[in-house]
């Protein structure tokens, strides 16, 4: 039931691509509270808050999903490379330590300052450190499965590396990695929101929660709605991708 | 001690890597950092002068050597934005960040235990809510709530202790949620494993029991999280400092990035990384103190 609620919220948010919008400037109706014409009210230049929140949420969620998939793929590949040979292991673990020693928001800020602004820079900045958690998790599991009899059996039966990976390794690694990935979607949205808040995330002409929050801070005494809705949206998104999904898949929270 | 020594060795290697990265990366980026830093209306001569000042016109090897020599002598270069030495600029911001980090961590640790010890759906819900409230949501919301009753708590500044309440709280609450999430399952297994709570019959004060028995038994993973959080905070809480206008390392970095102040950016990032790994070394050492198996 509760996981149904979460999935429902995420699908609803995703439909922002179809129903949301960046809004039309309408200075005659700015800073209005919720009413029949604008269910969530309007912002400081009269744009509809419902449409902006909806599309902004869809953007955050899409970035979260796409980047988590990328992190997962890169992480597993790094772990496979690390397990293949000792020198490769040193390189991968050293690289992970190196990147992880700079906090995620700091690293992203640094890259964004020196890359051409746009989605390419944002994706690079968000992608650079995200793979580490998945690579470390996958490596622990690959090490545990290294001497597994079923893998030896598969090898003796002449199964190639791709087949061993697909049939024997990935299905067993999936639960832990996917549990991490569900929280990862929220984590990407969190960093993206922070970057947009600072004005270096999503482009300023495109609605995003972080940027809406940053703008609304200046006007909250006039109308609190432009501040409250994005706050509520982020809160709900982080709750929906939060750790209860892990418990359902049978993985202890501290695992 | 051996674990701490190994961690120290790893940390030094990592820092060397970060130093090389911040020195060399600007050279290999698609856009010339000197041109960006000089601004839109700079003449070719200005850009050339800046390239010379940033040692971008030298080969990477000689620039690296010059920078290393400077660093060893304690000269971190001149900030392009403030026209002062980077050392003095950072020296002004670091105490603010340090105080914010330590305050937030202390409050978050207290909150985390308060959230993790009681059982029930209510505290679990609070824990999830704390995790789902990032600082850039809590900060503006707290400001809005306080603004309804103007004069209650100062909303910016660093002069009075009261001015630190809002930044500390908005930083500490999400951190406390993450700590409680690590603590709770461990506390539950600890209490369940001890079967009938024989210790409740002993006439030991509760706080003493917690200090001597409960806390050391579950502190390992908690300390790890605490160390990660401390490390991330020491380098400057970028968002919190921006929201509350605190002149710490975080707002210095944002300012330096927006004006492409390369020497200040390089030093701030390296300092952030150094404090981050230092916090981890401290945690390794602390865990050895708490858990004799790790010595």
ipTM score of complex: 0.85
pLDDT for A253: 41
3-state secondary structure of B82: coil
Give how far A203 is from chain B: nearest CA, Å. 15
Percent of chain B past pLDDT 70, that is, above it, reads 94
Please state, in angstroms and as integers, the Cα–Cα distance from residue B279 to each residue in A11, A133, B55, B125, following that order: 40, 19, 32, 30
Confidence of residue A209 (pLDDT cuts 50, 70, 90): very high
Q: Cβ of B178 under 8 Å from any chain A Cβ? A: no
On chain A, the residues whose CB falls within 8 A of the CB of B232 are: 103
Rounded-to-integer distance, Cα B199 and Cα B186, Å: 18
The model's pLDDT over A155-174, given as tens digits with 9 standing for 90+, comes to: 888 888 888 888 888 999 99
Largest CA distance in chain A: 76
Chain A residues with beta carbon closer than 8 angstroms to that of B231: 103
Band (pLDDT 50/70/90 cuts) for residue A74 is very high
* CB proximity A250 to B under 8 Å: no
* Cross-chain Cβ contact A254/B221 below 8 Å: yes
Say whether pLDDT at A57 is over 50. Answer: yes
Q: Which residues face B78 on adjacent strands? A: B85
Q: What is the mean pLDDT of chain B?
A: 83
The owner of tokens 């650079």 is A128
- In 3D, which of B126, B163, B166, B168 has the Cα closest to residue B145? B166
Q: Is A97's Cβ below 8 Å from some Cβ in B?
A: yes
Please tell me which residue, A81 or B262, carries the higher pLDDT value. Answer: A81
**Which alpha helices (DSSP H) does chain B contain, by range?**
2-28, 33-38, 44-53, 60-72, 86-116, 121-131, 135-147, 165-193, 198-201, 206-209, 215-234, 238-244, 249-258, 262-290
Query: Is residue B141 within 8 angstroms of chain A, CB to CB?
Result: yes
- Residue B152: pLDDT band by 50, 70, 90 thresholds? confident
Hunting for tokens 């990592």 — which residue is that? Answer: B14
Backbone angles phi, psi at B46, to 5 degrees: -60, -50
pLDDT of B195 over the 60 cut:
no
* pLDDT band (50, 70, 90) for residue B104: very high
pLDDT value at residue B179 = 93
H/E element, A126: helix A119-145
What is the least distance, in Å, from the CA of A120 to any CA of chain B? 13
Read off the pLDDT of each residue in B36-50 and give the average, rounded to a whole number. Answer: 81
Could you tell me if A149 and A225 are in contact, meaning their C-beta atoms sit under 8 angstroms apart?
no
Quote the pLDDT of residue A53: 92
Q: Mean of the pLDDT values across residues B151-178?
A: 85
B115-124, B148-157, B190-199: which range is least confident on average? B190-199
- Count the helices and strands in chain A (H runs, E runs): 12, 0
Domains and CATH numbers, chain A: 3-13+49-242 (1.10.3720.10)
Judge whether residue B199 has pLDDT over 70. no
User: Residue A217 and residue B143: Cβ atoms within 8 Å?
Assistant: yes
Q: How confident is the model at residue B196 (pLDDT cuts 50, 70, 90)?
A: very low
Q: What is the mean pLDDT of residues B127-131?
A: 91
CB of B132 within 8 Å of any CB in chain A?
Answer: yes
Q: What are phi and psi of B154, to 5 degrees?
A: -60, 140
CA dihedral B234, B236, B237, B239 (to 10 degrees): -170
* pLDDT at residue B117, as a whole number: 86
pLDDT for position A249: 40
Nearest to B272 among A94, A103, A200 (CB): A103
Q: Is A203 on the interface with B (CB under 8 A)?
A: no
Tokens of A185: 């979607």
In angstroms, the separation between the Cα of residue A159 and the nearest Cα of chain B is: 39
B254 CA: distance to closest CA in chain A (Å): 8
A57's tokens: 């949420």
Residues of A in contact with B273 (CB under 8 A): 101-102
User: Cβ of B134 under 8 Å from any chain A Cβ?
Assistant: yes
């Amino acid at each position: 039931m509760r996981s149904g609620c979460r999935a429902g919220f995420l699908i609803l948010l995703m439909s922002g691509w179809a129903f949301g919008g960046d809004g039309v400037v309408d200075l005659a109706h700015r800073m209005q509270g919720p009413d029949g014409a604008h269910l969530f009210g309007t912002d400081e230049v009269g744009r509809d808050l419902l449409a902006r929140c909806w599309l902004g949420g869809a953007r955050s969620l899409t970035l979260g999903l796409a980047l988590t998939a990328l992190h997962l793929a890169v992480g597993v590949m790094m772990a496979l490379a690390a397990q293949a040979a000792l020198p490769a292991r040193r390189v991968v673990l050293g690289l992970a330590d190196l990147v992880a020693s700079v906090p995620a928001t700091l690293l992203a800020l640094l890259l964004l300052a020196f890359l051409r602004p746009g989605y390419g820079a944002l994706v690079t900045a968000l992608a650079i450190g995200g793979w580490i958690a998945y690579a470390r998790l996958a490596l622990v599991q690959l090490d545990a499965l290294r001497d597994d009899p079923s893998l030896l059996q598969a090898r003796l039966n002449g199964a190639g590396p791709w087949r061993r990976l697909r049939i024997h390794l990935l299905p067993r690694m999936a639960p832990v990695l996917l549990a991490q990935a569900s929280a990862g979607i929220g984590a990407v949205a969190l960093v993206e929101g922070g970057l947009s808040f600072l004005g270096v995330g999503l482009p300023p002409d495109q609605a995003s929660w972080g940027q809406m929050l940053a703008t609304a801070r200046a006007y909250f005494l006039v109308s609190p709605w432009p501040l409250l809705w994005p706050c509520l949206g982020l809160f709900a998104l982080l709750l929906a991708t939060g750790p209860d999904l892990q418990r359902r898949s049978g993985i202890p929270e501290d695992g | 001690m051996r674990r701490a020594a190994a961690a120290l060795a790893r940390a030094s290697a990592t820092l060397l890597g970060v130093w090389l990265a911040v020195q060399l990366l600007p050279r290999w980026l698609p856009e010339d950092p000197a041109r960006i830093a000089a601004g839109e209306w700079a003449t070719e001569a200005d850009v050339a002068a800046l390239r010379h000042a940033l040692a971008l016109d030298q080969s990477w090897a000689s620039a690296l050597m010059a920078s290393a020599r400077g660093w060893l002598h304690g000269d971190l270069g001149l900030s392009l934005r403030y026209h002062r030495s980077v050392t003095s600029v950072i020296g002004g911001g670091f105490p603010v960040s340090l105080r914010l980090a330590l305050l937030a961590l202390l409050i978050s640790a207290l909150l985390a235990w308060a959230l993790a010890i009681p059982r029930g759906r209510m505290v679990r819900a609070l824990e999830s809510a704390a995790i789902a409230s990032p600082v850039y949501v809590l900060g503006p919301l707290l400001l809005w709530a306080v603004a309804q009753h103007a004069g209650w708590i100062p909303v910016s500044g660093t002069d009075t202790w009261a001015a630190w309440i809002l930044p500390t709280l908005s930083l500490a609450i999400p951190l406390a949620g993450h700590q409680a999430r690590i603590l709770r399952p461990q506390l539950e297994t600890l209490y369940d494993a001890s079967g009938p709570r024989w210790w409740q019959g002993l006439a030991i004060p509760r706080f003493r029991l917690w200090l001597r028995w409960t806390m050391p038994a579950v502190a390992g993973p908690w300390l790890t999280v605490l160390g990660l959080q401390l490390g991330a905070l020491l380098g400057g809480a970028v968002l919190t400092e921006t929201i509350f206008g605190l002149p710490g390392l975080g707002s210095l970095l944002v300012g330096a990035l927006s004006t492409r102040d390369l020497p200040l950016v390089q030093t701030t990032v390296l300092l952030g990384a150094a404090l981050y790994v230092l916090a981890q070394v401290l945690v390794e050492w602390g865990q050895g103190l708490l858990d004799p198996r790790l010595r």
